[in-house]
Each structure stands twice: as C-alpha cells, then as structure tokens.
C-alpha cells in the first residue's frame, strides 16, 4: 500500500498536479538567493537594481525610475540612491552623523555602514551610507505609510544598499 501511494505521488508530481500538504505540515519558507559576484542575499519576490556603481533591493511591486536611482512602492514608500566619494570615510561619517542624527536615532554606526532613522516627521526617513573607504553609496528610504511595510522589510532594504563592484569570489 505504501509503495502505491509513493508511485501515485511521483506520477502526480511528474504531470504537474500539486500534491495536498500532509496534515500538520508547515508551509514552505521563502527562499533567498545569493547574488553571484556580490555576495548579497536577495529575498524571494525582490529585485536588485544598480545605479552608478551602487545597489539596492526592494520588493517587485516597487517601480524603479529609468536610471534605477529611485524606486517607489504603490503605497507611496520609496528609496533614492546616489554615490559619494569617500576619501576619508571616518571624517565623512562623523559629519553625516552630525547632519542627520539631530532629529533621529543612529541604528548602526560601524566602519562600513552608517544608518540613521529620522522620527521627527512623516514620512519617516532612513538615511544609510555604506563605504569601502574609497566609494560610498548613500540612500534615503522614505516611509510614508508605516502600516504598509514591515520593519523586517525596511531592514532588508537598508541592508541591501552597497557597492555594486563585482568580485570573482562566487561564494
């Protein structure tokens, strides 16, 4: 009997009919993909865009501008991206912290990333700069509709900001 059930399951799978989930079986988790050459994880249902040597990832419902430097969600949330020269990253990071953190909180301040969330107004702005000490990629994630985006999605967008220099290390 068990072998007949197995054969039926294999045949249904081969002809493309879905199998019913076993009772108590948990739904399948989303799958991330590792982008070759960048070493960046991209969520299922998300797209990565590159503009002027910098990158970011957003859900597929967000529409990019023709030059890919911006993307907007149907609910009004959005991201703008640009490239900076960072000949002295420590000094530049210090100046950016002073300029942007007056009305917000520093969420990350490391050698490679500065992330400041401004809570003083609507929309909420997430300012992020990522640097490799030569080039810096900066972005502002503008959240106009907080109920339309999960905190984990905001974190994933911010973490996706960075340089788009391809490496030969395909991990």
Cα distance between residue 108 and residue 58, in whole Å: 20
Nearest by Cα to 89 from 40, 131, 34: 131
Average pLDDT in the chain: 79
Count of CA atoms in the C-beta half-sphere (13 A) of 22: 3
Given this model, what pLDDT does residue 127 score? 93
Domains, the chain, with CATH or none: 30-163 (3.40.1000.10)
* Cα 26 off chain centre by: 26
Nearest by Cα to 141 from 133, 61, 164, 149: 149
How many other C-beta atoms are found inside a 10 Å radius of the C-beta of residue 140?
17
Residue reference for tokens 């107004």: 121
Q: Could you tell me where the DSSP H helices lie in 28-130? A: 89-100
Cα-based distances in Å from 148 to 126, 130, 157: 16, 26, 14
Given this model, what pLDDT does residue 16 score? 38
Q: Which has more pLDDT, 164 or 14?
A: 164
Cα distance between residue 143 and residue 123, in whole Å: 5
Given this model, what pLDDT does residue 72 score? 97
Report the predicted TM-score, pTM, of the whole model to 2 decimal places: 0.75
Q: Which has more pLDDT, 8 or 144?
A: 144
């Amino acid at each position: 009997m068990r072998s007949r059930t197995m054969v039926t399951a294999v045949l249904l799978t081969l002809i493309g009919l879905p199998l019913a989930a076993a009772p108590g079986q948990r739904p399948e988790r989303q799958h991330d993909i590792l982008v070759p050459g960048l070493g960046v994880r991209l969520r299922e249902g998300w797209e990565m865009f590159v503009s002027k040597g910098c990158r970011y990832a957003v859900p597929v419902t967000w529409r990019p501008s023709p030059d890919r430097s911006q993307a907007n969600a149907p609910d009004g949330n959005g991201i703008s991206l640009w490239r900076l020269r960072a000949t002295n990253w420590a000094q530049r990071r210090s100046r950016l912290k002073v300029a942007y953190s007056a009305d917000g909180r520093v969420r990350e301040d490391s050698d490679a990333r500065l992330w400041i969330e401004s809570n003083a107004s609507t929309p909420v702005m997430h300012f992020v700069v990522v640097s490799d000490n030569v080039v810096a990629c900066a972005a502002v994630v503008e959240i106009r509709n907080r109920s339309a985006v999960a905190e984990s999605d905001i974190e994933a967008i911010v973490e996706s900001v960075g340089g788009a220099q391809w490496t030969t290390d395909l991990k």
